[in-house]
């Protein structure tokens, strides 16, 4: 009888532990894809330090070397952090920062090893690492690019990794390969000069058991959905679009789930379940990179290249073709728009009622998110360039320059620089935030900053 009671108690204890662990894992408190939950870039109640010093190890929890070269952002679920890299004998050759107009590709025929790392976020210990593929890259990269640009996506059960022309891979949380897909060569090039190869960069997302990928390339562009468990194609929609480097996002119209995609010929919304096109709009920067962001029943877009660099606030009930013609000046589904001012590289930040738009040249512009009114326009520094997108936590905005200077700015309608911290290395990667830690990926290291 005593043995039976012990067995029952043990079983109930396991059930209780499982219940507690499920309750503790709130998807909105996981940095589960590029820029976190729904690409918001926001993680409040993180209790991060205002200042730190990498050399002196002041407020540095840990820092580790990351082999190879990758510009994918860290992604976190529970205690596990995921990051990708491409390793070769010439992986860091030709890497270049700054603002310049060079469109050429890095000449490199070395064999690469594309890897996924799973790291304990508290200690920096590598839990496991997997080689997804090996070979000579099918596409060349831009000097400000790598062969591992896409951030992974995870839902706590699976981790999806996209290496562009080298394939799409799905692992379980222990690193066991579940399925993979080969899409052939995805030609991520400058559309005006087809020899200017810049490598693929659109990250996958996972939502309600589906993997969504946006592949805007030189030929045969598409948006597609796959079952995350099996890799089965759920739907695939062709897109007439220039090559782009945008990550898609999820938004809702009442109880209807939609997919928002940035673009030049075709930014718009698709039905999540069927892939049916809901709305579309053309125009803007013709090298599209930033991710759409969601809030206030609006979808915010920005882009920049060529004569136009708009910022757009599109209503989430938009339908049909909502392109603004020159003789119109506006559209009922466009709540507000700014014709010039959008960023070339960075995804905007929506935080506490304000839109923060960080330019490649370090100019930070704050707008009222409801009406688009400019609140302030400030330069973060002199003769510096930015590639990473800003993130926010606890009334602070974090912006990282290519030289590895982290500017911490007070959120709100008045600009105030709270601190400036050095990473002592090149940094072109958007940070990731979890409870009590902010992670920075530099050219050679992964740095965990936390109050000590």
| Domain CATH code at residue 315 | 2.130.10.10
291: exposed, middle or buried (Cβ count in 10 Å: 0-12, 13-18, 19+): buried
Rounded distance, CA 146 to CA 150, Å? Answer: 10
- Say yes or no to pLDDT of 327 above 70: no
Structural domain that includes position 413: 28-449
- pLDDT tier at 99 (50, 70, 90 boundaries)? confident
What percentage of the chain exceeds 90 in pLDDT? 87
Rounded distance, CA 3 to CA 5, Å? Answer: 5
Rounded distance, CA 323 to CA 314, Å? Answer: 11
CB 358 within 8 A of CB 390: yes
19: exposed, middle or buried (Cβ count in 10 Å: 0-12, 13-18, 19+): exposed
- Residue-wise pLDDT for 368-419, tens only, equals 999 999 999 999 988 789 999 999 999 999 999 999 999 999 999 999 999 9
CB 4 within 8 A of CB 49: no
Residue 1 located in a structural domain: no
Residue 113 located in a structural domain: yes
Q: Tokens 């469109």 label which residue?
A: 103
- Say yes or no to pLDDT of 442 above 80: yes
CB atoms within 10 A of CB 432: 28
Compare 24 and 194 and report the one with higher pLDDT: 194
Rounded distance, CA 400 to CA 421, Å? Answer: 9
**Mean pLDDT on 283-295:** 95
Residue 121 located in a structural domain: yes
- Residue-wise pLDDT for 161-191, tens only, equals 999 999 999 999 999 999 999 999 999 999 9
What percentage of the chain exceeds 70 in pLDDT? 94
- Using DSSP, state whether 201 is helix, strand or coil: coil
Residues 6 or more apart whose CB falls under 8 angstroms from that of 339 comprise: 308, 309, 310
Tokens coding 116 = 């996924």
Beta strand 293-295 with 126-135: parallel, antiparallel or unpaired?
A: unpaired
Residue 7 located in a structural domain: no
- Say yes or no to pLDDT of 1 above 50: no
- Say yes or no to pLDDT of 448 above 70: yes
Residues 6 or more apart whose CB falls under 8 angstroms from that of 382 comprise: none
Residue 195 located in a structural domain: yes
HSE-up (13 A, CA, CB side) for residue 181: 19
- Say yes or no to pLDDT of 329 above 80: no
Average pLDDT, the chain: 93
Rounded distance, CA 447 to CA 431, Å? Answer: 10
Q: Which of 266, 105, 245 is nearest to 186 (CA)?
A: 245
- Residue-wise pLDDT for 51-67, tens only, equals 999 999 999 999 999 99
Rounded distance, CA 94 to CA 141, Å? Answer: 10
Rounded to two decimals, the pTM is 0.93
pLDDT value of residue 368: 98
Give the containing element (helix H, strand E) for 422.
strand 417-422
- Say yes or no to pLDDT of 324 above 60: yes
Give the containing element (helix H, strand E) for 238.
strand 233-239
Number of structural domains found in the chain: 1
pLDDT value of residue 177: 98
CB 110 within 8 A of CB 62: no
pLDDT value of residue 384: 86
pLDDT value of residue 306: 87
Give the containing element (helix H, strand E) for 158.
strand 158-162
Backbone angles phi, psi at 17, to 5 degrees: -60, -45
pLDDT value of residue 330: 80
- Residue-wise pLDDT for 187-216, tens only, equals 999 999 989 999 999 999 999 999 999 999
pLDDT value of residue 204: 98
Q: Tokens 């030709």 label which residue?
A: 94
Q: Which of 226, 316, 233 is nearest to 278 (CA)?
A: 316
Q: Which of 68, 70, 50 is nearest to 59 (CA)?
A: 50
- Residue-wise pLDDT for 120-139, tens only, equals 999 999 999 999 999 999 99
Residue 410 located in a structural domain: yes
Tokens coding 51 = 């200042």
- pLDDT tier at 6 (50, 70, 90 boundaries)? very low
Residue 150 located in a structural domain: yes
Residue 137 located in a structural domain: yes
**Mean pLDDT on 419-425:** 97
């Amino acid at each position: 009888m005593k043995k039976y009671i012990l067995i029952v108690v043990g079983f109930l204890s396991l059930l209780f532990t499982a219940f507690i662990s499920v309750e503790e894992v709130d998807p909105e408190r996981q940095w589960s894809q590029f820029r976190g939950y729904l690409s918001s870039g926001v993680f409040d109640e993180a209790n991060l330090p205002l200042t730190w010093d990498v050399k002196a190890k002041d407020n540095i929890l840990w820092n580790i070397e990351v082999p190879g070269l990758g510009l994918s952002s860290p992604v976190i679920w529970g205690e596990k952090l995921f990051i990708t890299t491409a390793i070769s004998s010439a992986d860091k050759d030709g890497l270049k920062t700054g603002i310049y107009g060079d469109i050429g590709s890095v000449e490199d025929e070395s064999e690469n090893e594309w890897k996924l790392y799973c790291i304990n976020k508290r200690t920096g210990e590598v839990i496991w690492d997997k080689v997804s593929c090996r070979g000579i890259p099918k596409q060349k990269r831009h000097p400000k690019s790598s062969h591992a640009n896409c951030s992974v996506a995870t839902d706590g059960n699976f981790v999806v990794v996209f290496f562009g022309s080298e394939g799409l891979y799905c692992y379980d949380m222990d690193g066991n390969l579940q399925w993979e897909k080969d899409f052939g060569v995805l030609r991520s090039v400058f559309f005006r000069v087809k020899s200017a190869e810049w490598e693929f960069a659109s990250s996958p997302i996972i939502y309600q058991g589906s993997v969504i990928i946006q592949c805007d390339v030189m030929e045969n562009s598409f948006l597609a959905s796959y079952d995350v468990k099996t890799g089965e194609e759920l739907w695939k929609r062709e897109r007439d679009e220039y090559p782009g480097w945008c990550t898609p996002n999820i938004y809702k119209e009442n109880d209807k789930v939609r997919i928002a995609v940035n673009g030049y010929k075709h930014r718009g919304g698709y039905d999540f379940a069927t892939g049916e096109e809901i709305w579309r709009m053309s125009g803007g920067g013709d090298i599209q990179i930033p991710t759409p962001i969601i809030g206030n029943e609006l979808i915010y877009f920005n882009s920049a290249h060529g004569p136009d660099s708009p910022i757009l606030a599109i209503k989430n009930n938009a339908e049909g073709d909502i392109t603004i013609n020159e003789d119109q000046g506006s559209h009922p589904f466009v709540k507000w728009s700014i014709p010039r001012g959008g960023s070339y590289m960075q995804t905007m930040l929506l935080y506490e009622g304000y839109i923060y738009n960080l330019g490649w040249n370090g100019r930070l512009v704050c707008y009222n998110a409801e009406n688009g009114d400019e609140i302030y326009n400030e330069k973060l520094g002199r003769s510096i360039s930015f590639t990473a997108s800003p993130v926010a936590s606890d009334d602070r905005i974090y912006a990282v320059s290519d030289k590895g200077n982290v500017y911490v700015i007070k959120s709100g309608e008045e600009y105030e620089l709270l601190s400036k911290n050095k990473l002592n290395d090149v940094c072109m990667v958007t940070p990731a935030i979890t409870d009590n830690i902010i992670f920075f990926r530099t050219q050679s290291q992964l740095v965990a900053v936390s109050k000590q």
